[in-house]
Amino acid sequence: MSPRVRVLLFALAVLCLAPAFAHVALHLPRFGAHPLPYGDAINAAGTRERHVTNMVSAVNFDYRGFDTLGEEFMLLGAVTGTATLLRGTRGERKEVPQQVPGRPVRARSDAVVLVARLMGTTTVLFGVYVALHAMTTPGGGFQGGVIVSSGLLLVFLAEGYRGWRRAMRSEILDACEGSGATLYALCGFASMLAGLPFLQNILPLGKVKDLFAGGLMLVENAGVAFAVAGGFAVLFLEFLEETRVEADGDDEEEKEA
């Protein structure tokens, strides 16, 4: 499909969806308005019952924690399926392959390298901060995991493919994703072993507004953070691998991506 045809299809899609988008945007309820009492009930009971001030985390990891477990394994299945399809056609590489012919890599400027190095480190640290403060301020393991994986992609922009690929090992990322999802499920089984319902809290709740308040929700949040960060990093790795080919003979070493 040529670029002109893709642009034409995109323009047609926009024309078809624009009226529906405008209708929905114009009929949204005003900010803060909601017709159901569920939010008010959670706001009234969450801090008293769970000792947390972020009600979204209370819903995700406690009141509707089983739903989050399902969403976590949906992400795990999607990433696993994508990695299986891509690796099934080219295999799992351990070395650093060459760039696909016909897709030259532009040299990175010093400004791009400097900004990416600074922002990569800062972004990863901010992602960890967002994940750690899931029980006190807006954020959580999913948001923090996405931010951390975005920081890893900035490291690729800073260091190039070769340096990034040597640090990002697929077996480590796979283990990070799988262990995170497994940790969340084990929290539910631990509650059952204690004679309680699945994912019922079995740990001290801590003090309100404390970083480590929330009991079992802290462990679940950590599992989500590892699973999401590992899952998105696996996707980045697999898609970048699709732009590489195996080296033939003693070909001249490629420039760093």
Q: Cα–Cα distance between 45 and 47 in angstroms, integer? A: 6
pTM: 0.77
Which ranges constitute the DSSP H helices of the chain? 3-26, 38-50, 55-58, 65-90, 110-132, 141-167, 170-193, 216-241
- The sign of the CA dihedral 63, 36, 43, 45 is negative
**Cα 125 from chain centroid (whole Å):** 15
pLDDT for the residue 97: 57
Burial class (CB in 10 A: 0-12, 13-18, 19+), 117: middle
* 237 falls within a domain: yes
* 250 falls within a domain: no
pLDDT for the residue 8: 94
- The sign of the CA dihedral 110, 112, 118, 121 is negative
pLDDT for the residue 247: 47
pLDDT for the residue 251: 36
Q: Cα–Cα distance between 129 and 231 in angstroms, integer? A: 19
The per-residue DSSP string of 52-118 comes to -S-HHHHIIIIITHHHHHHHHHHHHHHHHHHHHHHHHHH----S--EEPTT-PPPPPPHHHHHHHHH
pLDDT for the residue 257: 46
Please give the chain's pLDDT, 257 residues, in tens.
788 899 999 999 999 999 999 999 998 888 877 777 888 888 888 899 999 999 999 999 999 999 999 999 999 999 989 888 887 666 665 555 566 566 566 677 888 888 988 999 999 999 999 999 999 999 899 999 999 999 998 988 888 888 888 888 888 888 999 999 999 999 999 999 999 999 999 999 989 989 889 999 999 999 999 999 999 999 988 888 877 665 443 333 334 44
* 190 falls within a domain: yes
Expressed as residue numbers, the domain containing 207 is 3-245
* 230 falls within a domain: yes
* 253 falls within a domain: no
Angle between helical axes of 216-241 and 170-193 (0-180°, round to 10): 160
* 168 falls within a domain: yes
Tally of domains within the chain: 1
pLDDT tens sequence across 136-152: 999 899 999 999 999 99
Q: Cα–Cα distance between 80 and 16 in angstroms, integer? A: 34
- The sign of the CA dihedral 136, 141, 146, 152 is positive
* 252 falls within a domain: no
**Cα 164 from chain centroid (whole Å):** 18
- What are 99's strand-pairing partners? 244
Maximum distance among all Cα pairs of the chain, rounded to whole angstroms: 69
